[in-house]
A and B are shown apart, each in its own frame.
Chain A
Amino acid sequence: MTFRVNTLLLHLSVWLLILIPVFLFCLLVQPGSVSVQMLLTGFDDPILSSILWEVRLPRVINGLMTGGALAVSGLVLQLIVRNPLAEPYILGISSGASFGAILPLILGASLFSFQIGGAFTGAVLVMVVVYFTGLRYGRIDNGRLLLGGVMMGAFVSALIFMSFTFLGDGLRTAITWLMGNLSLGSSSVIFTLFPIILLIILLVYRYSYAYNLILTGEEVASQVGIPVDRIKKVSYLYVSALTALAVCVSGIIGFVGLVIPHILRRFYGFDHRYLIPFSFLGGGMLLMIADWIARAALFPVELPVGAITAFLGAPFFIALMRKQST
Chain B
Amino acid sequence: MQKLRLESSKNCIIPSFYQRFFFAFFLFTLVFLTSCSPKKEDKPGKIVIDAIGQEVTVPIRPEKIISLAPNITEILFAIGAGNQIAGVTDFCTFPDAAKTKPRTGGLTNPNLESMLQLQPDLILVTADGNPKAISDRAKSAGIPVFTINPSSWDQILATIQLIGELTGHESQADSVIKSMIEKTEKLSILPSKPSIFTLLNEKPLISAAKGSFLDDILEKAGGFNVVPSGPERYPVINQEGLLKMNPDVILWPSEDDPDPELFKGPFKNLKAVKSGKVFKVNPDLYLRPGPRVADAVADLNSRLKP
Q: Which A residues fall within an 8 A CB radius of B? A: 30, 33-34, 46-47, 50-51, 54-56, 108-110, 112-113, 165, 169, 172-173, 176, 181, 183-184, 186-187, 295, 298-302
Task: Tell yes or no: B206 within 8 A of A by CB.
Answer: yes
Closest CB of chain B to A252's CB: distance in Å?
14
Contact stretch, chosen from B158-166, B180-188, B236-244, B291-299: B236-244
A112-B203 in contact given A47-B243, A300-B240, A300-B242 (Cβ < 8 Å): yes
Contact A51 B243 (CB under 8 A): yes
Which of B201, B209, B266 neighbours the largest number of chain A CB atoms within 10 Å of its CB?
B266
A46-B265 in contact given A176-B203, A298-B231, A300-B227 (Cβ < 8 Å): no
Contact A300 B238 (CB under 8 A): yes
Task: Tell yes or no: B261 within 8 A of A by CB.
Answer: yes
Contacts A/B (CB < 8 Å), 17 sampled: A34-B244, A50-B243, A54-B266, A55-B266, A108-B256, A110-B257, A113-B261, A173-B204, A184-B203, A300-B227, A300-B245, A301-B209, A301-B231, A301-B232, A302-B235, A302-B236, A302-B237
Closest CB of chain B to A305's CB: distance in Å?
11
**Smallest CB gap from A181: residue in B:** B204
A47–B242 alpha-carbon span in the complex (Å): 10
A113–B207 alpha-carbon span in the complex (Å): 23
Q: Which residues of A contact B236 (CB under 8 A)?
A: 176, 181, 301-302
A110–B257 alpha-carbon span in the complex (Å): 5
A153–B265 alpha-carbon span in the complex (Å): 34
Task: Given contact pairs A172-B204, A183-B239, enumerate 18 new A-B contacts (beta carbons under 8 Å).
Answer: A34-B244, A47-B246, A47-B270, A50-B265, A51-B266, A56-B240, A109-B256, A110-B259, A112-B259, A176-B203, A176-B204, A181-B204, A183-B238, A186-B261, A186-B265, A295-B240, A300-B240, A301-B235
A181–B203 alpha-carbon span in the complex (Å): 10
A17–B95 alpha-carbon span in the complex (Å): 65
Contact with A along B190-226 (1 / 0, CB 8 A): 0000000000010110100100000000000000000
**Smallest CB gap from B269: residue in A:** A46
Contact A50 B269 (CB under 8 A): yes
Closest CB of chain A to B12's CB: distance in Å?
38
Identify which of A55, A172, A184, A295 contacts B206 (C-beta below 8 A). A172
Contact A110 B256 (CB under 8 A): yes
Q: Which B residues fall within an 8 A CB radius of A? A: 106, 109, 201, 203-204, 206, 209, 227-228, 230-232, 235-246, 256-259, 261, 265-270
A-B contact count (CB 8 A): 92
Q: Which residues of A contact B206 (CB under 8 A)?
A: 172
Closest CB of chain B to A38's CB: distance in Å?
10
**Smallest CB gap from A303: residue in B:** B236
Q: Which residues of B contact A165 (CB under 8 A)?
A: 106, 109
Contact A295 B238 (CB under 8 A): yes
Closest CB of chain B to A160's CB: distance in Å?
15
Q: Which residues of B contact A50 (CB under 8 A)?
A: 243, 265-269
A184–B227 alpha-carbon span in the complex (Å): 21
Identify which of A109, A173, A187, A300 contacts B241 (C-beta below 8 A). A300
**Smallest CB gap from B241: residue in A:** A300
Q: Which residues of A contact B258 (CB under 8 A)?
A: 110
Closest CB of chain A to B51's CB: distance in Å?
24
A30–B106 alpha-carbon span in the complex (Å): 40
Closest CB of chain B to A302's CB: distance in Å?
5
Closest 8 CB pairs of A and B: A300-B241, A54-B266, A110-B257, A46-B269, A50-B266, A301-B235, A109-B256, A112-B259
A165–B258 alpha-carbon span in the complex (Å): 23
Q: Which residues of B contact A299 (CB under 8 A)?
A: 238, 241
A297–B243 alpha-carbon span in the complex (Å): 18
Which of B106, B236, B237, B242 neighbours the largest number of chain A CB atoms within 10 Å of its CB?
B236
Which of A33, A47, A186, A295 neighbours the largest number of chain B CB atoms within 10 Å of its CB?
A47
A235–B270 alpha-carbon span in the complex (Å): 46
A178–B270 alpha-carbon span in the complex (Å): 29
Q: Which residues of B contact A54 (CB under 8 A)?
A: 265-266
**Smallest CB gap from A294: residue in B:** B238
A109–B256 alpha-carbon span in the complex (Å): 7
A169-B256 in contact given A30-B240, A183-B204, A300-B238 (Cβ < 8 Å): yes
Contact B240 A301 (CB under 8 A): no
A300-B269 in contact given A172-B206, A176-B204 (Cβ < 8 Å): no
Q: Which residues of B contact A298 (CB under 8 A)?
A: 230-231
Q: Which residues of A contact B240 (CB under 8 A)?
A: 30, 33, 51, 55-56, 295, 300
Q: Which residues of A contact B269 (CB under 8 A)?
A: 46-47, 50
